[in-house]
């Protein structure tokens, strides 16, 4: 990269940093770790209305839209903070480092493989020496969580499955597990800082422990529940064949009322032929059986999913199978991805790529069906109760353990600070966007409590 256009960033006091995170919860975990490392070395997280010395964009590259979002964020950051050091990190850089480094506005590009060295790289560019805090203390959890009430903890990274459409194995590498003891230590540190919920995240969670002695996802979760006091523990995503009876027993046993009743289980396609071509390792029948297994063990569970519209060669009849499953599965939410050809994936070389207009039409149809499912699931919750982790005040907005967003209804804004507290509420109405709630401490009558 030609550095001649880069302005010198003058720092007269503790340098301030803002981190903008794109993409998945694994990126959220990376951003939170990066924030902790920076604050541990004398940096400060900038206030919302403050112009930072450093603006970091932790990028995603799962689709061409993600790449476009990163480029737009770079341009916006340069316009808004002309004197700041603009840093782009993450998957987009890992996939195409030369292109990202050459973008106008980019001062420093850090791939995933160098994120662990982000403090030194940023400090070098600022002309500063990265010095650990004198007392060696960890950063305040408000910094580590970057304004969130939920902490994302990476339990593994990488993927060995190499689905035909997916760039993740290229930008995240081969599967590797974080030792259970390290996960426990990190969660206990977060609890000490005030965290109430931890999200276990990774690229392929069900493979956890394959490279460790006598470890599995089930055993790791059991250890976390036994050796930490975390109030809410959320598992971010599971593949259908990873949902075993042994795993589900954690929700009804040691993890009852602590493991969140929310399961994200990607479908991707309803056609067995398309699933096979994608190199997914299950059939539609096996997928649906996994949903039945979840609901038999955790009847009030919320299930969310991902679906790809317009995969190369997908016929009308095969697309219709996806439509049928999305319409019938009673999902709490559906994330629809129009197929995006990614350089470096095998699907990019397949024949049968569909006209973009057809892909867009199919995506729109699935989104419409998914929206109906989203609304119907929430209508079922009216009159029940839930425990909400509040994430902001005035109005008070937070998430139930089933990942349903709730807000105190009109007249319920007492002015009391609720952020980062867990409160039992009655869900009184769905307004088309969020569940309106009333605190049960007000004496509100509701149907018998269910775990949601």
Q: Indicate whether 1 pLDDT > 60.
A: no
* Paired tokens of 312: 């190369």
- Which fold, 3-126? Rossmann fold (3.40.50)
Cβ atoms of residues 400 and 406 within 8 Å: yes
Task: Give the per-residue pLDDT at 148.
Answer: 63
Task: Give the per-residue pLDDT at 150.
Answer: 84
* Paired tokens of 375: 């609304």
Work out the average pLDDT over 310-336: 98
Q: Are strands 44-45 and 302-309 parallel, antiparallel or unpaired?
A: unpaired
Task: Give the per-residue pLDDT at 24.
Answer: 87
pTM (predicted TM-score):
0.85
Task: Give the per-residue pLDDT at 398.
Answer: 95
Banded pLDDT at 415 (limits 50, 70, 90): low
Alpha-carbon distances of 130 from 41, 107, 118, 285, rounded to whole Å: 6, 18, 10, 54
Task: Give the per-residue pLDDT at 47.
Answer: 87
Q: Are strands 176-177 and 108-111 parallel, antiparallel or unpaired?
A: unpaired
| ∠ CA 178-20-233, rounded to 5° | 40
Task: Give the per-residue pLDDT at 410.
Answer: 66
pLDDT tens for 124-134 read 999 987 666 54
Work out the average pLDDT over 161-182: 92
- Which fold, 385-442? OB fold (Dihydrolipoamide Acetyltransferase, E2P) (2.40.50)
The domain segmentation of the chain, as residue ranges, is 3-126, 149-260, 270-278+292-380, 385-442
Task: Give the per-residue pLDDT at 448.
Answer: 40
- Which fold, 270-278+292-380? Transcription Regulator spoIIAA (3.30.750)
**376, 416, 380, 377: which is closest to 395 by C-alpha?**
416
Task: Give the per-residue pLDDT at 142.
Answer: 43
Higher local confidence (pLDDT), 414 or 372: 372
Work out the average pLDDT over 316-322: 98
Cβ atoms of residues 332 and 377 within 8 Å: yes
| ∠ CA 325-328-331, rounded to 5° | 90
pLDDT tens for 69-119 read 999 999 999 999 999 999 999 999 999 999 999 999 999 999 999 999 999
Q: Indicate whether 443 pLDDT > 50.
A: no
Please enumerate in sequence order all residues whose Cβ is within 8 A of that of 402, keeping only pairs 6 or more positions apart, or say none. Answer: 260, 261, 262, 300, 301, 302, 332, 386, 451, 452
Do 270-278+292-380 and 149-260 have the same topology in CATH?
A: yes
Least confident of 16-30, 221-235, 268-282, 346-360: 16-30
Mean pLDDT score across all residues of the chain: 89
pLDDT tens for 44-72 read 989 888 899 999 999 999 988 999 999 99
Q: Indicate whether 10 pLDDT > 80.
A: no
Higher local confidence (pLDDT), 420 or 264: 264
Work out the average pLDDT over 132-156: 63
The C-alpha atoms of residue 274 and residue 194 are separated, in whole angstroms, by: 45
Task: Give the per-residue pLDDT at 414.
Answer: 53
Cβ atoms of residues 136 and 106 within 8 Å: no
What is the distance in angstroms between the CA of the first residue and the CA of the last residue of the chain? 50
Banded pLDDT at 450 (limits 50, 70, 90): very low
**200, 173, 169: which is closest to 186 by C-alpha?**
200
Q: Indicate whether 249 pLDDT > 70.
A: yes
3-state secondary structure of 392: strand
CATH number for region 149-260 = 3.30.750.210
Work out the average pLDDT over 303-309: 98
Task: Give the per-residue pLDDT at 452.
Answer: 33
Rg (CA), the chain: 23
Share of the chain above pLDDT 90, in %: 74
Work out the average pLDDT over 186-211: 93
């Amino acid at each position: 990269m030609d550095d001649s256009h880069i302005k010198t960033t003058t720092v007269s006091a503790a340098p301030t940093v803002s981190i903008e995170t794109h993409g998945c919860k694994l990126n959220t975990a990376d951003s939170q770790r990066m924030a902790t490392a920076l604050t541990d070395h004398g940096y400060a997280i900038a206030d919302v209305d403050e112009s930072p010395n450093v603006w970091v964009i932790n990028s995603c590259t799962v689709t061409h839209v993600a790449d476009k979002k990163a480029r737009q964020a770079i341009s916006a950051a340069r316009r808004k903070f002309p004197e700041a050091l603009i840093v782009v990190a993450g998957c987009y850089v890992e996939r195409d480092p030369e292109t990202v480094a050459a973008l106008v506005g980019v001062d420093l590009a850090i791939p995933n493989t160098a994120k662990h060295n982000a403090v030194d790289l940023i400090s070098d560019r600022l002309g500063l020496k990265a010095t650990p805090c004198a007392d060696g203390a960890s950063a305040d959890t408000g910094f580590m969580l970057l304004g969130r009430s939920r902490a994302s903890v990476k339990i593994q990274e990488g993927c060995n499955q190499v689905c035909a459409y997916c760039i993740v194995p290229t930008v995240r590498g081969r599967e590797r597990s974080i030792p259970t003891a390290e996960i426990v230590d990190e969660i206990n540190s977060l609890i000490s800082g005030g965290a109430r919920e931890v999200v276990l995240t990774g690229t392929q969670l069900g493979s956890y422990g394959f490279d460790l002695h006598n470890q599995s996802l089930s055993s790791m979760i059991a250890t976390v529940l036994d050796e930490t006091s975390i109030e809410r523990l959320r598992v971010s995503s599971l593949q259908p064949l990873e949902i075993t009876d042994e795993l589900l027993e954690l929700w009804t046993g040691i993890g009852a009322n602590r493991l969140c009743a929310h399961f994200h289980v990607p479908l991707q396609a309803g056609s067995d032929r398309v699933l096979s071509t994608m190199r997914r390792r299950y059939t539609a029948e096996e997928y649906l059986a996994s949903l039945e297994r979840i609901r038999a063990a955790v009847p009030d569970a919320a299930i969310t999913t991902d679906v790809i519209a317009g995969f190369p060669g997908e016929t009308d009849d095969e697309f219709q199978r996806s439509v049928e499953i999305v319409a019938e599965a009673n999902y709490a939410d559906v994330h629809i991805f129009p197929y995006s050809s990614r350089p470096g994936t095998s699907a990019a070389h397949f024949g049968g790529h569909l006209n973009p207009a057809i892909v867009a039409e199919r995506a729109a149809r699935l989104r419409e069906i998914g929206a109906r499912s989203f609304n119907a699931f929430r209508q079922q919750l009216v009159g029940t109760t839930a425990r909400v982790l509040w994430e902001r005040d005035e109005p008070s907005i937070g998430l139930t353990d089933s990942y349903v967003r709730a807000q105190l209804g009109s007249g319920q804004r007492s002015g009391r600070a609720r952020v980062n507290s867990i409160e039992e509420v009655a869900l009184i109405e769905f307004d088309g966007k969020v569940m309106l709630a009333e605190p049960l401490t007000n004496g509100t009558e509701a149907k018998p409590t269910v775990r949601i």
